[in-house]
Structure 1
Amino acid sequence: MCKENIQFIRGVTWFTKMAASSESVGSSPSSEGWSKWQIGLAVGVPAVVVGGYLLYKRRKNKKSDKEQSSNGAKKKSSTGEDKSVKDKLESQNDLEKELSPLEKAQADKNKGNKFFKGGRYDQAINCYTDAIKVCPPEEKQDLATFYHNRAAAYEKLMNLKMVVEDCSEALKNNSKYTKCLMRRANAAEQLGDLTQALEDVTALCILEGFQNPKSLMTADRVLKQLGQSKAKETYANRKPTMPSKHFIRTYLKAFTQDPVINEARTLDQSSEQNGETDIPDTDSPYYEALRQMNAEKFEEIIPNCTKEIDNDQSCKCVEARLLRATFYFLGGETEESLADFKLLTEDYVSKKIRVNALIKKGSILIQQGKQTDGLDCFAKAVRLDPDNADIYHHRGHHNIQLDRVDDAIRDLEFAVSKCSTFAASHVQKSFAEHRKSAEMIANSGAKIPLPQTVIDSYKNNVTMFPDNGDARALYAQALTDAGKFDEADREFEKAIKLEPDNATAMVHRGLLQLQWKQDVEEAIKIINQAIDVDNKCEYAYEVLGTLEVQRSNMQKAMDLFQKAIHLSRTESEMAHLYSLLDAAHAQLKVAKNLGITLPGPMGMGMP
């Protein structure tokens, strides 16, 4: 059972937990410090809001020697200066001399705020700079406010580098200044410093108790950008590796009209019945590759196919190229696979091989995010052979991934109608209907049970194909979704008995223990058994890593996510895993910087 088949049943990551929205962050400069925040069970401490009004003593004016003339005119000094204006200036200077450094800084800040509100940002920056210069270094809350206000003015002038610098200075004085964290996160994101942006928005989410949707959405966006960036580089330089035998076996069973796979099956059946085969020239590298495929010695298939292709006298060159392209694809050598498939879609190639090549090429292109090109390959295949069930089955599978569930159901119905004994299409069709029902329930917001028709559809599959492990595993998942935990556990047990190396089914049985009995230890034990059975099961490492995050074992979680990244087969899969890794790393670093311990339930949720 492929991991994609059960993605939507997982829980949600920490950055998509939405709760009642809190007050949005304003864009004007702050005249306050930070408010009281809570994390989990009151993690974090309140801070005193610094501010208030300055009270000044008025000086008594000295007795004026002004005298009024008979016409009311003022007497002038010997220099001709208006004596009342002179006294006023002297009084103001004397008042300023009596202000403390902090009072002078507050006065400069207030001037800066007026300039800011009037759109005179350069003047505001000068005032905030004066405030910073005279503010005593021990007045950390006030210094944080002055730096943050200057950062807000720089932001208006689009000087993002200075925004980051001033926010950094503000946070040195007040590490829990939430408005400042958000401002630096936004600036860092625009500057392309996604690591800094992630750390800031993570700190913000922690301080807000993961309750502010705006912060959570920012974290989600930054995580995706960072994951995609890292995955692009890693995927381009990765070392290709074959997936597990169970994965390859499941993939090969998803074709009913693959000419090469069918020839291998015929060769295998003939050998079992007669001890030999009547197929000529079975000593060629191509037939050796077929025997290796039947024996699940997958690593030797590509070299033998290459020998056959390089033989100018070969009459199986095209078939060898199709088999090589298939295993290039399975091993993650995408460009080599596409090069072979391109040759196999030429007009001189037989229809069956061309159709099979178009199906596999289309799958690769869709995985690369080239959906239009990929779906075009499937459309060409339909025009060539409209009765080929494999086309509709695989296009239906990809339509599920593309959230085109109605199209997927229609395709899978076609696949079943073309080949009623095609177990994989029956199972995928039930899964697509399950997903549609689950999404409708989620969108309604109501606690509606899973329709019985969905459960019956899975049950029918088990009746028709009692020896199919995927049919039973997905039936068990539907029973879990319906809250029928006892029955689900029994069906998982049967599925694993049918396919002892089905690590994915074991992972889901482990997750059932969480949902059913809230038994984390038992869940982890079963998932570790899945890894023992198949150490190439990327999904097992991903889920186990997520459980360790919930237990606040961040370093262990990161090690597990790194293993999953190494095993991921597509760039999009790798990007998702990097998001989990980066989120765990950011939470660990931020918790250390803030001097707090993250409680498990407040960390990331299930993937």
Structure 2
Amino acid sequence: MTVKDYFAKQDYKFYITASATVVLAGVGLYYLMTPKTPKSPKTPKTSKTSKHKPTNRSKKSRPTGTSETSSTAGRDRTVKNREEEAEIEEFEKYNTEQINALPIERRKSASLLLKGRGNNAFGHRNYDTAIRLYTQALVFNEDPIFYNNRAACYYNKNEFDKVIEDCNNALQMDPYYVKALNRRAMAYEQTSCYEESLHDYTAACIIDEFKNESTATSIDRLLKKVAKIKAQEIIKNRIKRLPSTKFISSYLDSFRKETVKDEKDEKGEKDEKDEKDEKSGNDEHEEDKENNENKEINEINENNEINENNEINENNENKINDEIEDSDKKTGNDFFKLAEKLVKQQRYQEAMKAYEDAINFDCKNLAKALNMRGTFTYLMGDSQNALIDFQKALELKPDYVQIYVKRATIYMEQGNKDDAWEEFEEAIKINPTDPDIYYHRGQVYFLDNDFDKAVKEYQRRIELDSDFIFAYIQLSIAQYKNNSITEGMKTFQQGLQKFPKSAEMYNYYGEMLADQKRFDEAMEQFDKAADLQQENFALPFVNKAMLCFHVKGDPAQAEELCRRALEIEPESDIANTIMSEILLARGNLELALRYLEKYQEVARTEAELQGILEYAEAARSHITFKERYPQLADRLGPIAR
């Protein structure tokens, strides 16, 4: 699996376009350089009359091309074969002492006779006899071919450990012995040593200069198998975690901000702190309190930065709780307010913990707290527990439209399309003018490749609320994918006029231009997006890197741009993966693998993780090859590209 294939699944349209030229050129080259198989000569048809025509040849006449001399030669060969058979039978009886007493050349010729007879036995599937003969041949003369032939016998007898042992001996004598590599790879696969099998197939393919299509097919099969096993193991054992800060922010921003009201305040009951503020009537005091609250939150992690994987250690979480207790903030409402502030500061791991405490302490805004905890749980890849929180939220607030929309998204991901559409319809019954419904239903249609309906949903979203940037972006892309290229470009122009300071608008417009091979214009848009982004949007730099790499042929500049993107967003999946591809092309396999391993830590789903692991395992196999065959390391350049 290539990086292009991986991103094809992620629908990174620009990247696919940028890579297509290279891939197609490679295919064309293959067919141009591969000689055609010559056609077999046609056998002349024999007419019915000639078929039964009697021959005029006498009994003494001989077929064309034969002679008395050839007959004699045949008899001589028969005699010679009999002599060889007798000699081989004698050699089979030789002990080690007798063999060692023979001259080297005599021992070699004897071993070849024994090997020939072993081949004959193998051809007749007499594997035990063949093993005995190959074994005796090895006593006469240790040869890697004899080990490999005996390994073939053991393979047919399902004695795979002996296959591996014989292939090890053969490869110790001849490390470039492709047949032995392939046979050991087959045995490793049969014994579930899939990584070792993959490494052997990779080595055989490179050494053989990709002449064996079967070996290449085996590599693809093993890559998928190894990646699937590892992905399942990682998903099973790893602690669930939130994705990158940028990912979470983008998801939360796709919903309009809620106006928070006390859900349990039906009788006019007020929060304790609100009462104090009302009694004081002092605006200045209220402002000071707000500043103090912010200061308290900031002091929580003064010397404990959240690491690049968005994890927060247990001590940090305890410090949050201690700080709340020290300030007499012991109610669920206090935890809820803290959670809301942490979300604004994009401190999402801490916010999730605060929402959980708000729920445990029965805060007044319990439905909102459940919604947010469910949202974070979903983003961690735990859809089942997310649905439980969403159901509880609906029991408290049956008209909570956002919950229906989020459940619809989960159902669609699970393949329950009917349930998803029902959720959207229920949301529309509650509030037909809620813009979020139409945007997210448009996203579902978009991912289902139903671009006609997606366009209508995005248009409805803009009619209800024209201030949402991504509605314009998604509408433009949906129109473009629906072959309404002019309309898509026009929508982008409208978006750029309405949001002239939006880095996102310029970036995605650049992607559309790049898809049309208008590379210079695309680069201009990426430059504008890079200038406008406020250290929180890495994609323009990634897109510039891909243009430099695939179009301008400047991998050094591409690498530098990727590094800039990763400074902005260290957990960016696409930046890490593109960086690994660039490094592979430049021959830096070890560093490329580090970037791939870094991304696999934050992959959300098993399918996503398996895709990146296939790429990582391919890189790891190439590294293993370089270690085993350093003198052939120069052959890895074309592979990486």
Aligned position for 1:487: 521
* Rounded Cα–Cα distance in structure 2 between residues aligned with 1:231 and 1:104: 53
Q: How does 1:70-85 map to 2 (within 5 A)?
A: none
Per the TM alignment, residue 199 of structure 1 is displaced from its structure 2 partner at its CA by 0.4
* Rounded Cα–Cα distance in structure 2 between residues aligned with 1:172 and 1:397: 57
* Rounded Cα–Cα distance in structure 2 between residues aligned with 1:567 and 1:161: 38
Q: Secondary structure at the match of 1:372?
A: coil
Work out which of the residue numbers 558, 564, 574 in structure 2 matches 1:523: 558
- List per-residue Cα deviations over 1:11-50 (Å, max 9, x = no partner): 38x9997645989xxxxxxxxxxxxxxxxxxxxxxxxxxx
Which deviates further from its counterpart, 478-487 or 330-339? 330-339
Aligned position for 2:622: 587
Aligned position for 2:341: 291
Q: Are the structure 2 counterparts of residues 163 and 434 from structure 1 closer, same or farther at C-alpha, using a change threshold of 3 Å?
A: farther
**8 Å contact from structure 2 (residues 14, 511) kept in 1:** no
**8 Å contact from structure 1 (residues 551, 600) kept in 2:** no
Q: Are the structure 2 counterparts of residues 89 and 233 from structure 1 closer, same or farther at C-alpha, using a change threshold of 3 Å?
A: closer
Per the TM alignment, residue 323 of structure 1 is displaced from its structure 2 partner at its CA by 0.7
Per the TM alignment, residue 334 of structure 1 is displaced from its structure 2 partner at its CA by 5.8
**8 Å contact from structure 1 (residues 430, 457) kept in 2:** yes
The residue identity in structure 2 corresponding to 1:381 is E
* Rounded Cα–Cα distance in structure 1 between residues aligned with 2:518 and 2:84: 86
* Rounded Cα–Cα distance in structure 1 between residues aligned with 2:161 and 2:89: 37
The residue identity in structure 2 corresponding to 1:513 is C
Per the TM alignment, residue 502 of structure 1 is displaced from its structure 2 partner at its CA by 0.7
Give the number of the structure with larger relative contact order, counting CA–CA contacts within 8 Å between residues 6 or more apart.
Answer: 1
* Rounded Cα–Cα distance in structure 2 between residues aligned with 1:152 and 1:435: 54
Aligned position for 1:254: 254
Aligned position for 2:372: 323
Per the TM alignment, residue 306 of structure 1 is displaced from its structure 2 partner at its CA by 1.8
Aligned position for 1:311: 361
Which deviates further from its counterpart, 302-311 or 416-425? 416-425
* Rounded Cα–Cα distance in structure 1 between residues aligned with 2:481 and 2:197: 35
Aligned position for 1:358: 407
Q: Are the structure 2 counterparts of residues 304 and 458 from structure 1 closer, same or farther at C-alpha, using a change threshold of 3 Å?
A: same
Aligned position for 1:109: 115
- List per-residue Cα deviations over 1:468-520 (Å, max 9, x = no partner): 43332122122223222221111112223333311122111122222343222
Work out which of the residue numbers 124, 130, 137 in structure 2 matches 1:131: 137
The residue identity in structure 2 corresponding to 1:592 is E
Aligned position for 1:544: 579
* Rounded Cα–Cα distance in structure 1 between residues aligned with 2:585 and 2:553: 13
Aligned position for 1:427: 473
**8 Å contact from structure 1 (residues 285, 304) kept in 2:** yes
Which deviates further from its counterpart, 159-168 or 484-493? 159-168
* Rounded Cα–Cα distance in structure 1 between residues aligned with 2:131 and 2:567: 62
* Rounded Cα–Cα distance in structure 2 between residues aligned with 1:289 and 1:190: 53
RMSD between superposed Cα atoms in Å: 4.3
Q: Secondary structure at the match of 1:263?
A: coil
Q: Secondary structure at the match of 1:518?
A: coil
Per the TM alignment, residue 320 of structure 1 is displaced from its structure 2 partner at its CA by 0.8
Per the TM alignment, residue 171 of structure 1 is displaced from its structure 2 partner at its CA by 2.2
Which deviates further from its counterpart, 455-464 or 211-220? 455-464
Q: How does 1:154-169 map to 2 (within 5 A)?
A: 154-169=154-169
Q: Secondary structure at the match of 1:129?
A: helix
**8 Å contact from structure 2 (residues 88, 113) kept in 1:** no
The residue identity in structure 2 corresponding to 1:563 is K
- List per-residue Cα deviations over 1:266-286 (Å, max 9, x = no partner): 9xxxxxxx9999xxx996533
* Rounded Cα–Cα distance in structure 2 between residues aligned with 1:285 and 1:170: 69
Q: Are the structure 2 counterparts of residues 507 and 262 from structure 1 closer, same or farther at C-alpha, using a change threshold of 3 Å?
A: same
Unaligned 5+ runs, structure 1: 24-57, 62-84, 138-142, 267-273, 438-449
Aligned position for 2:596: 561
Work out which of the residue numbers 95, 100, 111 in structure 1 matches 2:106: 100
- List per-residue Cα deviations over 1:258-306 (Å, max 9, x = no partner): xxx433699xxxxxxx9999xxx99653344233323433333223322
Aligned position for 2:58: none
Say if 2:445 is the partner of 1:382: no
Per the TM alignment, residue 396 of structure 1 is displaced from its structure 2 partner at its CA by 5.6
Per the TM alignment, residue 196 of structure 1 is displaced from its structure 2 partner at its CA by 0.6
- List per-residue Cα deviations over 1:296-336 (Å, max 9, x = no partner): 33333223322331234x44212210111112333556665
Say if 2:608 is the partner of 1:602: no
* Rounded Cα–Cα distance in structure 2 between residues aligned with 1:591 and 1:223: 18
* Rounded Cα–Cα distance in structure 1 between residues aligned with 2:87 and 2:549: 75
**8 Å contact from structure 1 (residues 351, 384) kept in 2:** no
* Rounded Cα–Cα distance in structure 2 between residues aligned with 1:283 and 1:88: 98
* Rounded Cα–Cα distance in structure 1 between residues aligned with 2:503 and 2:437: 23
* Rounded Cα–Cα distance in structure 1 between residues aligned with 2:86 and 2:219: 55
* Rounded Cα–Cα distance in structure 2 between residues aligned with 1:553 and 1:88: 56
Unaligned 5+ runs, structure 2: 1-6, 36-75, 95-101, 263-282, 288-330
Work out which of the residue numbers 477, 501, 507 in structure 1 matches 2:511: 477
Aligned position for 1:29: none
* Rounded Cα–Cα distance in structure 2 between residues aligned with 1:122 and 1:391: 72
**8 Å contact from structure 1 (residues 412, 426) kept in 2:** no
Which deviates further from its counterpart, 517-526 or 145-154? 145-154
Aligned position for 1:182: 182
* Rounded Cα–Cα distance in structure 2 between residues aligned with 1:284 and 1:94: 96
* Rounded Cα–Cα distance in structure 1 between residues aligned with 2:477 and 2:391: 32
* Rounded Cα–Cα distance in structure 2 between residues aligned with 1:555 and 1:95: 52
**8 Å contact from structure 1 (residues 8, 435) kept in 2:** no
Say if 2:553 is the partner of 1:504: no
Aligned position for 1:229: 229
Per the TM alignment, residue 251 of structure 1 is displaced from its structure 2 partner at its CA by 1.3
Higher helix fraction: Structure 1 or Structure 2?
Answer: 2
* Rounded Cα–Cα distance in structure 2 between residues aligned with 1:190 and 1:459: 59
Q: Secondary structure at the match of 1:100?
A: helix
Q: Are the structure 2 counterparts of residues 150 and 310 from structure 1 closer, same or farther at C-alpha, using a change threshold of 3 Å?
A: same
Per the TM alignment, residue 552 of structure 1 is displaced from its structure 2 partner at its CA by 1.1
Q: Are the structure 2 counterparts of residues 207 and 529 from structure 1 closer, same or farther at C-alpha, using a change threshold of 3 Å?
A: same
| TM-score when normalising by structure 2 | 0.67
Work out which of the residue numbers 569, 572, 578 in structure 2 matches 1:534: 569
Per the TM alignment, residue 358 of structure 1 is displaced from its structure 2 partner at its CA by 0.7
Sequence identity percentage = 24
Q: Are the structure 2 counterparts of residues 114 and 559 from structure 1 closer, same or farther at C-alpha, using a change threshold of 3 Å?
A: same
How many residues align structurally?
505
Work out which of the residue numbers 340, 344, 350 in structure 2 matches 1:300: 350
Q: Are the structure 2 counterparts of residues 488 and 15 from structure 1 closer, same or farther at C-alpha, using a change threshold of 3 Å?
A: closer
| TM-score when normalising by structure 1 | 0.71
Aligned position for 1:263: 259
